[in-house]
């Protein structure tokens, strides 16, 4: 099963309920898949990640040098 390498999100089974002549039609289950895309991590690895994790990675602040000198 394909799943996100960062959060572990995978596919789920969902049932849609269709009302037909006052009764619910026992519709078959459908498998829903997450939006998985390939992305490169900071260490150079190429992994499958969901779109939500890719957006979160893009918003993370870039780590700069720890010893910043304050100027007045």
pLDDT tens for residues 28-43?
Answer: 788 999 999 999 988 9
d(Cα 4, Cα 12) in Å, to the nearest integer?
A: 13
| pTM of structure | 0.64
Q: What is the CA 3 to chain-centroid distance, rounded?
A: 9
pLDDT tens for residues 4-29?
Answer: 999 999 999 988 788 888 888 777 78
d(Cα 50, Cα 33) in Å, to the nearest integer?
A: 10
Give the helix/strand (H/E) hosting 48.
strand 46-50
């Amino acid at each position: 099963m394909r799943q996100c390498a960062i959060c572990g999100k995978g596919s789920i089974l969902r049932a849609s309920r269709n009302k037909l002549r006052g009764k619910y039609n026992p519709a078959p289950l459908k498998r829903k898949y997450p939006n998985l895309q390939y992305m490169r991590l900071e260490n150079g690895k190429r992994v499958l990640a969901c779109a939500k994790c890719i957006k979160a990675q893009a918003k993370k602040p870039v780590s700069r040098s720890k010893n910043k000198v304050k100027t007045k």
